[in-house]
Amino acid sequence: MNRIPALEGGCNFRDFGGYETGDGRRVRWGRLYRSGMLARLNGRDLAALSGLGIRAVCDLRRADERSRHPNPTLGPEVIRLHWDEPRESSPLRGVQFEYSLSHAAARAAMTDLYARMPALLARRLRGVFAVLLDAGGGAVILHCTAGKDRTGLGAALILSALGVPRSVIIDDYLLTNVAVDLGAWLSVHGEAGAGLATTAEPVQALAPQTREAVLAADADYLEASFASIEAEHGSVEAYLTSVLGVDATARERLTRMLLEP
């Protein structure tokens, strides 16, 4: 199977099925997709996606991101979902990033951001799992702007719920560094075209060494999310149950739907 399909206007689009679980089963291909922004997909890209059986698109972006770069229509049968928070703004506007003048400081700021994401994104992640449980035999696209941070945590928790080992989940997260060169993608599409302009997402306004740390997929970042979950809730399973509403019964249903027999 092709994990990273060639989409001319795609950003970090890939299938995150095919992984083996701890008990020897395998996540179904063609059911779970993760991506960055979809606004640059062209006609050929949309034709390719039309053959994937997409049931729902879960958009983890903020309202301002969606308004600047709205998703294309993938078909009348495709459900489009998003979740808003009051007074939400980009975390990259925080002083941690504006004054992170070294790569190490920027990595520390990103690690802190990832530690906070399980709480910050709880409402959206709860919605994503509700969509998965309601998708039947259809495929789901989970995406944000770069397809790395918010999407990375979401995909990691889905794979965790399905019983995929942590090391494999980290490897899937790190595939961002192979699937897309985010710095080059910004240059090709232009700051405004990427939705990451100084007046929007302030990535390009950061110091170069800071921006490098922000755009990278770093195993320590995702590990910080897991560590935060385990410190606060005891385990990923407890977080899934108590915060995201995905109890043992729901996880069993997910495994029936998303794992090969």
What one-character-per-residue DSSP string does 161-216 give? HTT--HHHHHHHHHTHHHH--HHHHHHHH-HHHHT--TTSSGGGGS-HHHHHHHHS
Residues paired with 82 in a beta bridge: 59
d(CA 238, CA 240): 5
Annotated catalytic residue within 117, 144, 213, 244: 144
Return all residues near 155 (Cβ < 8 A) that are at least 6 apart.
Answer: 16, 32, 34, 142, 169, 172, 173
Residue partners of 106: CB distance under 8 A and separation at least 6: 97, 100, 206, 209, 210, 211, 212, 213, 214
User: Strand 54-59 to strand 79-82: parallel, antiparallel, or no bridges (unpaired)?
Assistant: parallel
H or E element in which residue 225 lies: helix 219-233
Residues 57, 219, 102, 232: is their CA dihedral positive or negative? positive
Count of residues making up the chain: 261
144 is catalytic: yes
Residue with tokens 């789901």: 140
Give the residue numbers annotated as catalytic, written as ranges. 144
